[in-house]
Amino acid sequence: MLNQTDHYLLRRAYEEAVAGFNEGGCPIGSLLARGDEVLASGRNQRVQQGDPIAHGEMDALRKAGRQSTYRDTTLYTSLSPCMMCSGAIVQFGIPRVVIGENQNFGGNEAFLREHGVEVVIANDPGCIALMERFIREKPDLWAEDIAQEP
């Protein structure tokens, strides 16, 4: 269940996704928060930086810098996280992930849950529509992002 803070912070992750889309990249935004305090936000920057692991979640984690603990944080992401990002979530012990949408890409919710992560799916219409548009307009870039043949 999403609370008021979740709605607000997920909207900020969505805004990161829109910024990435407008830069010509993959529209996936993320944000790491401790309660209602934003530690960092980021977006998929694979295209912008030419970095194959610069996914939205990884960008937010990098920008958050070293934390003494992640066990009291929530990661917000506009799209269900891939295995690489899910592994980082588990590795750092992030206990809760709020996902904007998983209709366009069913990530690794089961993996996260199996490792004790609370997974909340928002089914956010804006997140869904943005990713649908991106996949329709840039199918080759989408295939590259998820390491599949176009």
Set 15, 16, 37, 57: catalytic member: 57
Active site residue 57: yes
Q: How far apart are CA 55 and CA 31, in angstroms?
A: 12
Annotate the chain with three-state secondary structure. CCCHHHHHHHHHHHHHHHHHHHCCCCCCEEEEEECCEEEEEEECCHHHHCCCCCCHHHHHHHHHCCCCCCCCCEEEECCCCCHHHHHHHHHHCCCEEEECCCCCCCCCHHHHHHCCCEEEECCCHHHHHHHHHHHHHCHHHHHHHCCCCC
Q: Which residues are catalytic?
A: 57
